[in-house]
Chains A and B, each alone.
Chain A
Amino acid sequence: DGGITQSPKYLFRKEGQNVTLSCEQNLNHDAMYWYRQDPGQGLRLIYYSQIVNDFQKGDIAEGYSVSREKKESFPLTVTSAQKNPTAFYLCASSIEGAGGTIYFGEGSWLTVV
Chain B
Amino acid sequence: AQSVTQLDSQVPVFEEAPVELRCNYSSSVSVYLFWYVQYPNQGLQLLLKYLSGSTLVKGINGFEAEFNKSQTSFHLRKPSVHISDTAEYFCAVSEAGTGNQFYFGTGTSLTVIP
Using CB atoms and an 8 Å cutoff, list the residues of chain A in contact with chain B. 4, 6, 31, 33, 40-43, 48, 50, 88, 90, 92, 94, 96-107, 109
Contact of B100 among A40, A100, A105, A106 (CB under 8 A): A100
- Closest B residue, CB atoms, query A42: B106
Decide if B34 touches A101 in the complex (CB within 8 Å). yes
Decide if A106 touches B94 in the complex (CB within 8 Å). no
Bound CA–CA A88/B42 (angstroms): 9
Name the residue in A96, A103, A109 with the highest tally of chain B Cβ atoms < 10 Å from its Cβ: A103
Within 8 A of A (CB), among B1-36: 9, 32, 34, 36
Decide if B43 touches A105 in the complex (CB within 8 Å). yes
Decide if B41 touches A42 in the complex (CB within 8 Å). no
Bound CA–CA A109/B94 (angstroms): 27
Decide if B106 touches A94 in the complex (CB within 8 Å). no
Query: How near does chain A come to B107, taking the closest CB pair, in angstroms?
Result: 5
Decide if A40 touches B9 in the complex (CB within 8 Å). yes
Contact of B104 among A31, A40, A42 (CB under 8 A): A42
Decide if B98 touches A98 in the complex (CB within 8 Å). yes
Q: Besides A43-B90, A43-B104, A99-B96, 8 other CB < 8 A contacts?
A: A31-B99, A88-B41, A97-B99, A97-B100, A99-B32, A100-B100, A102-B102, A107-B43
